[in-house]
Structure 1
């Protein structure tokens, strides 16, 4: 059970070696820094530096996003699986010298994008003005024109479609005395008409009043030239803005080869930010600095030897005290490591907990396989994950997840073969529909669809075994803590009670030999008596013990009944996968014509089975997690641990390759 043992570490070294030691510890990633609490030591205030680093990272990330948007650099399929680029430590140093150039490139890219944005906004504004003026294109006088010494000009719109004749008739009807005027309709639509009215100055006020009564709205366009001239200028401006955008995009594309440099810069600045956060936790004297923190005991000696051989240091290791907030780091073998993420999803082990990954792994893969339960789907999972793991340098959590699904795929193949499900009943469909022969029974155990009660009984047996293992872990933990009597009295009575009650309940579904029924009755009775006698042993009064014992029996009976029934989800999801797969195959085989049937079956097979696999794979993942979190962990696991957070090279795009 691989919850690594932690040691407190104290490193005292010369101040002149601080940078080199910090960088080496960061590359090794095995020391978590604790905040130095010694008031006699000086501490660095790195808040402003950290803030500046975060600002620089944000600038680089923005520039990277712009470059990816405009450069349209083609990335190979599944490039996200290729992992980080390796870089030697000496080349890293030479690359760091270019950081100012890279940072300037980031600002240049952002500046170009800003100019593009401004030009696009200018195009929108200009186009809006152009659209508003388009209706006046045929007007051969400026929009601001108001007349001559003896005339008055009204330029505007009326809110309906009219002609020049309509306007003159309406003006005459409203004021017959208005004779010295002319009307021209420049543009007319269903919604409005653009009109120009020119009259003698002596009747300007009367004309204006009549136009107002007709709903005339004077133009407010501040245009001194003719609309045609202005529209040509707008078109010229839009074209200029477009050329500016194209030129700036071309300039951005010229930075395409800087993408990896920008990614390097992001990682480099993040490394510096993390280092400065750690620097704020160390203590300083005039000539030395002191690091305190935690290190996994497994890696402590190697770390000590490496620092001792290169620097003048004094390193001490201590065992953490009971009051110390010791971080948790899980490390398991190849079979169990993939489910560490499931444990972490729930909670890391607390101080008294063990790492449940190793005892959970077998049941996790087993239950997943039973729920998905189709060997064909399992083969796809195994081949797919194996190819990805072999071809790509995947790291970290994603690699563990893929390995988890690889083992889940193997389990799915096993249980699918046991239940005779290979893409549902496709073997039967092909044999009967295309070869007119009776398909053999390919199930190595039984077919759940034909015998669901047997499947349900098996699910309950697997569930009881799962719960018993959880109780066994609880018993071992109590035994190791020296509470040997508690270990026996808290677990053994439950074992006896469940072993007695389970067959009695099972007899409702299947036939159980009378001799077994008799034995189980005595076991159940003995278990119940033991639970009543032992559950209330902490109480000092006899009545208190008896009352607590009865309550304990009720809790065991109701709680474990609920837990065991929960494993019926193995039946539900297992049947769902096979049933839906069978329906898919049946739909494909519906046509009577053999040729059409073959084509239809192929199409429906290729569409239906991937969908069925995806849906039930998700269901198997969710419900397998649920069985671990609710039923299994509740028997022995508390959680509440804090993750081990060392100073490390937490990079996204590069990884270090040591020269020595």
Structure 2
């Protein structure tokens, strides 16, 4: 087996004349071949700071940031006025890939000028209706608040223009709790020396599920402050009514009419803005994208070092791209640069990792990265994850119909949603292959919605020889009369025993592969003792157990177990003394537990088939027990029952397949914890250069 490692990295260091830095950064950004190295930490070192100073972000970054805010506000406006438009399920499952607009700029000044010109055109058409819309919305809010207030004063024939502070009097309206009203009247009379008039209306229901009484209080202007204080103490709720003329009823009716007019005008403006949104959204998205790209370039300057006339740029690049990167720098700088290429000079934890698998395997890198990317000098396990994951998934779900549904769902994700999302592309590809694996094992085990054919068609797949293994019993090929084989006096004569045997054998092989990789890695580090104590003794144990199974000589396994326990204690003593040596004796149980952990393949297989069978039996009973409508209930039971089984066991198979890799398999050789390669790359969805 050829073990793949992450792409080899080189450190690139370039000293570039100030005037030529911008084109270099632009070309590197478009190429996406390097990861810029942030020099800010190094420049804190006196040895570096003696000849290099930190570089600020590019000056044009301020203009870019300002324009980005304007463009974002415009996009927010377009998004708000387009809320009524829905893409529907077909739009979600088959998203439209935007047509890229070809644009080419040689400097930030050109980009800023282009954005300002286009934005000016957009604002010229949008600003007036947007301003009018804002005014209408503001007026609508005022009128709705006014309506909420005057509706409580419907019984009063008072011109509301008299509310508030007059030349000699002060009049205020509001709501009071009935139980507080008598005390309020008394206290107001006292503080105003009797110069107060309180007019009460009929009780009204407020939104708080309680009744209050609307009142209007009129007093002399000189008592305004003390009256206000008394009102606040009594829990008086003042109604915010000002600068209106007419009775409450007239104001209420007038507000409703004006609101209807505002609603009509608002609808007209929204239609106009919606049309403008359709006209300009794609263009504004283009502006937003090129500004975001320009922002990244401006910020890239802060990762460099600066002298009086030059900039120092450091970057990581995969070895296969180094010559191309050097050519880009020298061409973009017109020769005003010095480029140095060297081997990585950082700890392995800081060297970026780029996984470099073939196209057919690359989507499975997602599963590796879900655990942790490998360290720079570590094995990339992706190639070994793919076959194991598909094998385990197919055995655990093991229903051909479920597998077909899973494959179809995977194709939708892969071929449709994957057009706009790399994550959907990877997941869809993995699910498609997992579905095909499930179909294969479903055919081998006769799983077609569980025992649907037996329950509803009277066809026993296992007695007809159309399935090799029956996960829940015997088949034509494996039965008490035709045992598959005998091991240590135990006959493998039914489906569960066959699948359990297969699971343990697959687990032993899986672990043996991991141990082989681990011992190879240890030997490369010239640590023979670590290789033996870390992986070798477990390989010895596996070989001893396999030999015992085939020869029947229990002494071989017994000697191996005693030897491994002794080695575990020696290893523990070397690491931490007597206590660790005693604890080390238990390591053998952990390893044997890892082997037995693969029995979950049988457990999930039985869970899928058993639950499917239960759904079929219940549906059959409902269909037989209830006349006419029972058939409909049975169909509903089948649809929802199998949907539940498919989703839950499909998810369970995914999780447990990953667990067998992340815990049992990776535990033999893989550590992870690398830093993922993050290319300095222009992200283009709406534009091309």
- Scaled by the length of structure 2, the TM-score of the pair is 0.74
Distance in 1, matches of 2:419 and 2:248, equals 65
Q: How far off is 1:328 after superposition?
A: 0.9
Distance in 1, matches of 2:260 and 2:683, equals 47
Distance in 2, matches of 1:54 and 1:639, equals 38
1:632 aligns with 2:665: yes
Q: How far off is 1:331 after superposition?
A: 1.6
Contact 1:60 1:266 in 2 (8 A): yes
Q: How far off is 1:89 after superposition?
A: 4.7
1:261 corresponds, among 276, 280, 283, to: 283
Match of 1:88 in 2: 102
Distance in 2, matches of 1:73 and 1:145, equals 46
Q: How many residues align?
A: 598
Match of 2:642 in 1: 609
Match of 2:432 in 1: 406
Q: How far off is 1:7 after superposition?
A: 0.4
Q: How far off is 1:622 after superposition?
A: 1.9
Against the structure 1 CA distance between its residues 633 and 185, is the aligned structure 2 distance closer, same or farther, given a 3 Å change threshold?
closer
1:369 aligns with 2:386: no
**Which runs of 5 or more residues in structure 1 are unaligned?**
147-152, 161-182, 198-214, 505-511
Distance in 2, matches of 1:219 and 1:11, equals 71
Over aligned residue pairs, what C-alpha RMSD do you find? 4.4
Against the structure 1 CA distance between its residues 437 and 477, is the aligned structure 2 distance closer, same or farther, given a 3 Å change threshold?
closer
User: Any idea what SS the aligned residue of 1:11 has?
Assistant: strand
User: Any idea what SS the aligned residue of 1:430 has?
Assistant: helix
Q: How far off is 1:26 after superposition?
A: 0.9
Contact 1:370 1:415 in 2 (8 A): yes
User: Any idea what SS the aligned residue of 1:650 has?
Assistant: coil
Contact 2:403 2:438 in 1 (8 A): yes
Q: How far does the alpha carbon of each residue in 1:101-140 deviate from its partner, in whole angstroms, 9 at most, with x for none?
A: 4545479969977875664464344234334433554655
2:116 corresponds, among 89, 100, 110, to: 100
Contact 1:187 1:195 in 2 (8 A): no
**Which runs of 5 or more residues in structure 2 are unaligned?**
165-170, 179-197, 206-210, 218-233, 475-494
2:674 corresponds, among 638, 641, 653, to: 641
User: Any idea what SS the aligned residue of 2:432 has?
Assistant: helix
Q: How far off is 1:388 after superposition?
A: 5.0
Match of 1:317 in 2: 341
Q: How far off is 1:490 after superposition?
A: 3.4
User: Any idea what SS the aligned residue of 1:295 has?
Assistant: strand
1:385 corresponds, among 385, 402, 410, to: 410
Q: How far off is 1:484 after superposition?
A: 3.9
1:569 aligns with 2:600: yes
Against the structure 1 CA distance between its residues 100 and 496, is the aligned structure 2 distance closer, same or farther, given a 3 Å change threshold?
same
Match of 1:529 in 2: 563
User: Any idea what SS the aligned residue of 1:280 has?
Assistant: helix
Distance in 2, matches of 1:284 and 1:196, equals 74
Contact 2:136 2:262 in 1 (8 A): yes
Q: How far does the alpha carbon of each residue in 1:428-474 deviate from its partner, in whole angstroms, 9 at most, with x for none?
A: 23321xx8999735323332466434333332322222222221111
User: Any idea what SS the aligned residue of 1:443 has?
Assistant: coil
Pairs within 5 Å for 1:283-322 = 283-285=305-307, 287-308=309-330, 311-312=334-335, 313-321=337-345
1:275 aligns with 2:319: no
Distance in 1, matches of 2:534 and 2:175, equals 93
2:78 corresponds, among 42, 51, 67, to: 67
Contact 2:63 2:112 in 1 (8 A): no
1:142 corresponds, among 137, 142, 159, to: 159
Match of 1:177 in 2: none
Contact 1:496 1:524 in 2 (8 A): no
1:516 aligns with 2:551: yes
User: Any idea what SS the aligned residue of 1:10 has?
Assistant: strand
Against the structure 1 CA distance between its residues 616 and 516, is the aligned structure 2 distance closer, same or farther, given a 3 Å change threshold?
same
